Amino acid sequence: MRLSDNERSAIRVAVAKRFGAQARVLLFGSRVDESRRGRDIDLFVEVPHTLSDSLTEAVQLEIDVMRAPGERNVDVLLTDPGLEERPIRRIAHKTAIAL
């Protein structure tokens, strides 16, 4: 995993503040593999409650994480009990590791 302890902590704090302590945050994409290159951080966040506007919430979380100390580009993929299952979510979940 190509994330520092500080980055992992900042991400977990941002997710918990926005979605609560029960939200689960996983890392997927190039940052999972030490041998791959890739600058952005791809996050898969499982929210335990239904969101009224998941797109806005994903963007807000990206902003929260980017504002935390340290420069980082973040892409967020959210899922909640009310969202339809999509292939990208299955792929992300299958390859992701918990933070």
Structurally, what CATH architecture does the domain formed by 5-98 represent?
Answer: 2-Layer Sandwich (3.30)
Give 72-95 pLDDT, tens digit per residue: 788 898 988 887 778 877 787 788
- Number of separate helices (H) and strands (E) present in the chain: 3, 4
Full-model pTM: 0.84
Give 10-23 pLDDT, tens digit per residue: 899 999 999 999 99
Structure token pair of residue 25:
């945050």
Distance CA 15, CA 10 (A): 9
Give 43-57 pLDDT, tens digit per residue: 999 999 999 898 899
Residue 60 has pLDDT above 90, yes or no: yes
Q: What is the domain partition of the chain in residue ranges?
A: 5-98
